[in-house]
Structure 1
């Protein structure tokens, strides 16, 4: 019998951790909703069963973005909006099977404060190629991704575990030809990033906001726990950061990486089902 590879062992370990994390903390105090909200959540759960993964999470993220945009427009300066924001999401049935602990409200407020700071300081930034409206929309989309991950971390953990596994396997298998190397001057780090993007697109059909968010976390590992100084520096360079992400997504070899990843998406998704079932 062949030995299990380190990458496979890590994937199995991550999935085991994910399975354990699904068990609710008996001491945690979860946010409860009223009966009407529960019925809405039940209806939403039935809808989820007839749409695919991408549509489910797109629906939820669009709702987060829409509600966030409205609450930011109506916000009084220095107002804490996390609690009504989270309650509105729960009442809307967007997290029907995910118990949300009350402690998450403070975490969400920190996330909101981070993006509010960025958005409030856009007027101080010299914007060249994008108008402020486009930049505002881009940042709001990234914020929605972080909020969703914060409220449903178990789902993201499992997704990222499979992505990391696929990236590790593809790194070992993909070799850049000498001609392509000369034409594109692609570096090893760029190859790894393109593999990472291709895995997201092929496996889960992830779209621009969430890939951008994942790239930010990859390039700035501190992002989810950024200090005020780090947030300020990030804000000052926001245009350059988003331009770099756009260039990365439009790399000349991006489509080739995607086609390679797409060949293997079915076996990896089957592997996901097998490990999850066991």
Structure 2
């Protein structure tokens, strides 16, 4: 029997591996929302998404972005943002009701807190056009990080990495891109867009992690760079 190549092996391992949400304890406290309110929110989100059709992970990410944006620049609305965000995602049925552990609230709050200082430095008083662009850019990265934390794209990432490993040596961009690192990065981005339909926000998120690998661990130097 022929041995599988390493990229194919990694894909199989990713698909056989349990997803993080499958490891949630049955007895740990879960976030619950009222069924009637959930139905109303679901209908609203369904209508909105029918107008702007996208893949599920993009719909969830964009919903996270909208929900955070509504509360971002009002100080009193920032309190309990993690709980409010998760509850709203459950009401919109982007996440399953009575399935998300309450402990994730603190994790989401921790992610958001890393960005709040940056948002405040971008727009201390009011948003100019340039500051709005910077704020929207940062918000898209934050929303992607939260979406990836809640529903890790383990299998999608494995597909991208496998495809990248297979074709990176066969792509000739020497005439247009002479720097090998930049060439590899452009190949990686192209695969993301073509294979799993990653949008600009997801690409930005991966670029931040590429150039500032310590950012998600709260490295202050990387925060300054960002």
Name the TM-score class by shorter chain.
0.7 to 0.9
* Cα distance per residue 1:6-56 (max 9 Å; x no partner): 221122112111468635432432212212144357758988x98998343
Distance in structure 2 (CA, Å) of the matches to 1:119 and 1:88: 22
Give matches, 1:77-116, under 5 Å. Answer: 79-96=79-96, 99-116=99-116
- 2:129 aligned with 1:137: no
Give the TM-score normalised by the residue count of structure 1.
0.68
CA deviation after TM superposition for structure 1 residue 167, in Å: 0.9
- Which of 182, 191, 194 aligns to 2:186? It is 194
Partner of 2:120: 120
Partner of 1:207: 199
Give matches, 1:1-278, under 5 Å. Answer: 1-18=1-18, 22=22, 24-40=24-40, 54-76=54-76, 79-96=79-96, 99-122=99-122, 131-153=130-152, 156-177=153-174, 180=175, 184-187=177-180, 189-227=181-219, 229=220, 233-238=221-226
Distance in structure 2 (CA, Å) of the matches to 1:77 and 1:71: 5
Find the residue that maps to 2:73 and give its secondary structure: helix
* Cα distance per residue 1:220-271 (max 9 Å; x no partner): 23332224x2xxx334333xxxxxxxxxxxxxxxxxxxxxxxxxxxxxxxxx
* Cα distance per residue 1:85-143 (max 9 Å; x no partner): 2212222222248932111100000111011111112258xxxxx71111011111111
Find the residue that maps to 1:173 and give its secondary structure: coil
Give the TM-score normalised by the residue count of structure 2.
0.82
* Cα distance per residue 1:47-102 (max 9 Å; x no partner): 8x989983433332222111111111222398442212221222222224893211
Distance in structure 2 (CA, Å) of the matches to 1:96 and 1:192: 38
Distance in structure 1 (CA, Å) of the matches to 2:160 and 2:53: 15
Distance in structure 1 (CA, Å) of the matches to 2:86 and 2:179: 43
CA contact (8 A) 1:71 1:85 kept: no
Distance in structure 2 (CA, Å) of the matches to 1:51 and 1:98: 28
* Cα distance per residue 1:171-217 (max 9 Å; x no partner): 2433455xx1xx53222x22221121011111122111111001212
Distance in structure 2 (CA, Å) of the matches to 1:140 and 1:98: 27
Aligned length: 222
| Residue segments in structure 1 that go unaligned for 5+ positions in a row | 125-129, 239-278
Distance in structure 1 (CA, Å) of the matches to 2:76 and 2:21: 37
